[in-house]
Chains A and B, each alone.
Chain A
Amino acid sequence: MTLVVMAGLFLTSLLVIRWQRGNEGVKEGIQQTSSMLKRIAPMMIMGMVIAAMASVALPSEVINKWIGDESGMTGIFIGIAVGASVPAGPYVVVPLLGTLMVNGAGVGPLTAFLTAWSVIPISRSLVWELPFLGPPFAISRFIVALSFPLIAALLAPPVFRLFD
């Protein structure tokens, strides 16, 4: 289903480019994609292996104890610390979170992890945000976002219970 929608969107965008900019534009789009692929492919493969190996390396008891539903604030802070320091894209983080989820990680710690990775990523901020958007912007944004993962993690479990 999602595949069909994505394929449809992709084809539509190609047609629009073709109509607006001709073959030149299509070529440019393909170039953008292939340079992205080249960059991401090695990381993506490593990410998949890390996620799969982690499920073998970390037995459910360990996951449950440290970041399970009962882990409380400890689990949330572990989630924030790991999330903020993982230097990887969604192709690593999301499969890893999926593995952790299946093996007993709680909604609070998982939300903390995903939110920290999204809004206060240490390496992405240093390597990308600081040079490209400038120190004043990057610093102000980081300060403002610092509390977000904790708030999200505290709000998530009751909300999750509504859907589960």
Chain B
Amino acid sequence: MTSGTRRKRRIDPSLLTLFGILCLVVSVVFAREGTDGIIEGLRSSLSLTRRALPITLLGMGLAGTLQVLVPPGVIGKYMGDDSGLVGLSIGMLAGVITPGGPYVMYPIGNALMASGAGIGPMAGYVSARNLVTVNRLVVWELPFLGWPFTLTRILVSFWMPIATVILVPIVYRLLPKVLRDKAPHKKTTE
């Protein structure tokens, strides 16, 4: 738990890792193709960026407004452990429309849990969010990977949120009690 507390206002570790990968790729390009390779790489990065920029900006604008429109505390109340199919569907729907990155989704998830969301609906939320986000689909996957691949990927993974919803609560109950007491909704609920 302590490792999570230094998150704030520090250089993002994933930013550093990315920078490392970037340096690695650039040196490989330089070693193989010299300056010409670097120039070619930069030129195609520019055209990639130009292609993605307008829709990314719109996507992020939409992500911001959605967060204002749909407060998570209200939704969590309908996602309790005995909310049944309704709770599961709300969880998955919330996942599909949750915009932004992990820094949006996990705080929302935490708020959902704190306001009473059960393990099953939460599992539905997280896996739906991870697998099919409307925003990611429209902004990234369709333009870059094309519809045949995107459709294939959705078809071979649509069962996953359902499987998680059924299996995660079972595995959860099998975990030792000491561990289960560390769940955020055991602490944060008033």
Give me the interface of A with B, judged by CB distance under 8 Å: 2-3, 5-7, 9-10, 13-14, 16-17, 20-21, 25, 28-34, 36-37, 39-40, 42-57, 87-92, 94-95, 97-98, 101, 107, 110-111, 114-115, 118-119, 121, 123-124, 126-137, 139-141, 143-145, 148, 151-152, 155-156, 159-160, 163-164
Residue pair B145, A123 in contact (C-beta under 8 Å): no
Given contacts A33-B64, A46-B19, A56-B40, contact A152 B156 (CB under 8 A): yes
Q: Is the CB of A111 within 8 A of B156?
A: yes
Q: List 5 A-B contacts (CB under 8 A).
A: A33-B65, A45-B49, A51-B45, A53-B26, A148-B160
Tally A-B pairs: CB < 8 A.
274
Please state if A43 and B14 are interface contacts (CB–CB under 8 Å).
yes
- Contact status B127-A119, CB under 8 Å: yes
A144, B168: Cβ atoms closer than 8 Å: yes
Partner of B179, one of A37, A128, A136: A136
Q: Which residues of A contact B163 (CB under 8 A)?
A: 144, 148
Main secondary structure of the interface of B (DSSP, over half): helix
Set of chain B residues within 8 Å of A30, measured between Cβ atoms: 64
Query: In angstroms, how far is the closest chain A Cβ from the Cβ of B17?
Result: 5
B61-94 Cβ-contact flags toward A at 8 Å (1 or 0): 1111111110000000000000000000000000
Q: Say whether B140 contacts A17, CB under 8 Å.
A: no
Q: In the complex, what distance in Å separates the CA atom of A25 from the CA atom of B65?
A: 9
* Given known contacts A52-B45, A53-B45, A29 and B67 CB-to-CB distance under 8 angstroms: yes
Bound-complex Cα distance A5 to B59 (A)? 11
A31: chain B residues within 8 A (beta carbon): 64
Measured CA separation A16–B164 after assembly (Å): 34
